[in-house]
Amino acid sequence: MKTHSPRKRFGQNFLHDAGIIKRIINSLKPKDSDHYIEIGPGHGAITQPLASQVKQLDVIEIDHDLATELQAQAWFGDIRLHRADALKFDFNSIAQPPEMLRLVGNLPYNISTPLLFHILSQHHLFTDMHVMLQKEVVQRMTATPGNKIYGRLTVALAARCKVESLFIIKPGAFNPAPKIDSAFARLTPLEQPLIKPSEQNKFDTLLRHAFSQRRKQLGNALQELLCIEQIKAAGINPQHRAETLSVYEFIELTHQLEDSSIS
């Protein structure tokens, strides 16, 4: 019997809609050879049907009461429970090369963006990542240059992954019902990321500066990193704003940092 009360500090909204759960599992297309990681399993709504279809499932739950409840359930599959904070979790610790991991998660809305960046930092470990997020976050993830919601997260993802918004989930699918719509998205790491591993820190540093004050022209926003001549050398007008640049233009700017001390 589930007696756990959702905790606001963990951003808990538990999925219960059987139709949405089935649609999620169908989107995952799990195989019996898969090694999955699930973030934020809640009461096990996705965990239970997924566990019976895959080779191994590692579950990350920060709430100790929920973890205890999950541990007491009868599982049909190889389940390993980690009582841990997903924001600090080292996915390398459960990777078994050359095997690739797959990830699914109902990401807490209050930490969704930093958690996505943490997952991105280890994207090379994953075949794909399926995540449930606020609809607005998924819209940002899939935005195009020139859109007011196009930003740092959009570009950071585009350099590493193909991002697809799969379907919208209405508030009534959760308990408690959030005040906003959610969306289910698929992130598929590119076989050849647009940035080299040696460039990633510089790329992310550049994005932080470029989007920290969106209304600033690039010449001002990037003045701590690049001079006007370097921005022009990348083929970019220093008077343009970050939200107008493609991922490829940000990569060209990153190349201008190659001889700098930024790491």
- Same domain membership, residue 177 and residue 202: no
**Cβ of 261: how many Cβ atoms within 10 Å?**
5
pLDDT at residue 60 greater than cutoff 60: yes
Are both 36 and 166 inside the same structural domain?
Answer: yes
Cβ–Cβ < 8 Å for 250, 236: no
Q: 62 in a domain, yes or no?
A: yes
pTM of the shown model: 0.88
pLDDT (tens digit, 9 = 90+) per residue, 138-162? Answer: 999 999 999 999 999 999 999 999 9
Residue 261 domain-assigned (yes or no): no
pLDDT in tens, 64-77: 888 998 888 888 78
Neighbours of 76 (CB within 10 A): 10
Q: Is residue 260 part of a domain?
A: no
What share of residues in the chain are helix, strand, coil (percent, to 5)?
40, 20, 40
**3-state DSSP assignment of residue 81:** strand
What is the mean predicted confidence (pLDDT) over 24-53? 95
Residue 71 per-residue DSSP state: H
Of the candidates 161, 189, 217, which is a domain's last residue?
A: 189
Q: Which of 231, 191, 192, 229 is nearest to 210 (CA)?
A: 231
Percent pLDDT > 90 in the chain is: 74
Task: Determine the Cα–Cα distance for residues 256 and 233; give it in Å rounded to an integer.
Answer: 8
Distance CA 227, CA 34 (A): 48
Please indicate, yes or no, whether residues 225 and 183 belong to a single structural domain of this protein: no
On whether both 119 and 29 belong to a single domain, the answer is yes
Q: Are residues 241 and 171 in the same domain?
A: no
Q: Write the CA distances from 11 to 3, 58, 71, 166, 174, integer angstroms.
A: 17, 21, 21, 22, 12
Looking at the structure, tell me whether residues 117 and 232 fall in a common domain: no
Alpha-carbon distance of 143 to 215, in angstroms, equals: 18
pLDDT at residue 12, as a whole number: 65
pLDDT at 1 over 70: no
- CA separation for the pair 8, 82 (Å, rounded): 21
Question: Whole-angstrom Cα distance, residue 246 to residue 251?
Answer: 9
Residue 55, domain extent:
8-189
Confidence band of 263 (pLDDT split at 50, 70, 90): very low
Check which CATH number belongs to the domain holding 110 and give it.
3.40.50.150
Task: For residue 250, give the 3-state DSSP assignment.
Answer: helix
CB atoms under 10 Å from CB of 78, counted, come to 12
pLDDT in tens, 161-191: 999 999 999 999 998 888 999 999 999 999 9
Domain boundary among 159, 189, 219: 189
- How many structural domains is the chain composed of? 2
Q: What is the pLDDT of residue 78?
A: 86
Instruction: Tell me the CB-side half-sphere exposure of residue 162, using CA atoms within 13 A.
Output: 8
Q: Which residue has the higher pLDDT, 234 or 76?
A: 234
> Has residue 168 been placed in a domain?
yes
List pLDDT tens digits, range 184-228. 999 999 999 999 989 999 999 999 999 998 889 999 999 999 999
Statement to judge: residues 47 and 132 lie in one domain? yes
Q: Which two tokens stand for residue 65?
A: 């009461």
2 located within any domain: no
